[in-house]
Chain A
């Protein structure tokens, strides 16, 4: 089973700043099967990025994804107040299991 490790655990930033979130896999992941989700308190996760770098429908262009192999990054270019949330990476190989990273919390500094 592929283990995803996200860092940092918590990111304390101010609105307008740039956020860089990391997701490292224990073995190579196909870029086609790497996604990022945003979750706010009391809400279901929301798809942000799929295929490592494609934005989901309705996602603002301040969100971008990159990476390949074992290292992937989610970047939020300028944090808006509504972006403070927990972010999860997810991989899905050729068959289950799906695995999620443990999450990165982006909090207001």
Chain B
């Protein structure tokens, strides 16, 4: 069974840092591109970042470019999102998602999300 389990969320002050993790199981993690998507309270889905299966390619939304870093450790089956210079508008539930491996590029599995609260 495919499972994605996020962790690392919590309360952080504006300007602070946080590292999110997404532990994957039930599939060959190193074969799949992975993504982070966030959802502010009461709002829609916002795409954040992507990383290729081998970690060689990454992408960031303009809203987080230069402040967030996506990475992965295929030996640990874990995806990361290092978040820095956090702002109030970064407060959201952060989901990791697996990109389908067939070439269609939709997200076939999602984690349950981890909440990041940015407040003083």
Contacts and interface: CB of A to CB of B under 8 A. Distances in A.
Nearest to A31: B104
B108 interface: yes
Interface of B: 35, 37, 44-47, 50, 59, 61, 95, 100, 103-113
Residue in A37, A39, A47, A96 with the greatest tally of chain B CB atoms within 10 Å: A96
Nearest to A48: B106
Contacts of B110: 44-46
Contacts of B50: 96, 98
20 contacts: A32-B103, A32-B104, A33-B106, A37-B45, A37-B107, A43-B112, A44-B110, A44-B112, A45-B95, A45-B107, A46-B110, A50-B106, A50-B108, A56-B108, A88-B44, A92-B105, A97-B59, A97-B61, A100-B37, A100-B45
Interface string A11-46: 000000000000000000000110101010001111
B22 to A, nearest CB: 12
A68 interface: no
B56 to A, nearest CB: 14
A37 B106 CA distance: 10
Interface magnitude class on chain A: 20 to 34
A102 interface: yes
B59 A96 contact: yes
A96 B46 CA distance: 13
Nearest to A86: B44
Top 9 closest pairs, chain A to chain B, by CB: A35-B106, A96-B59, A44-B110, A92-B105, A50-B106, A100-B45, A98-B47, A103-B44, A102-B44
B47 A99 contact: yes
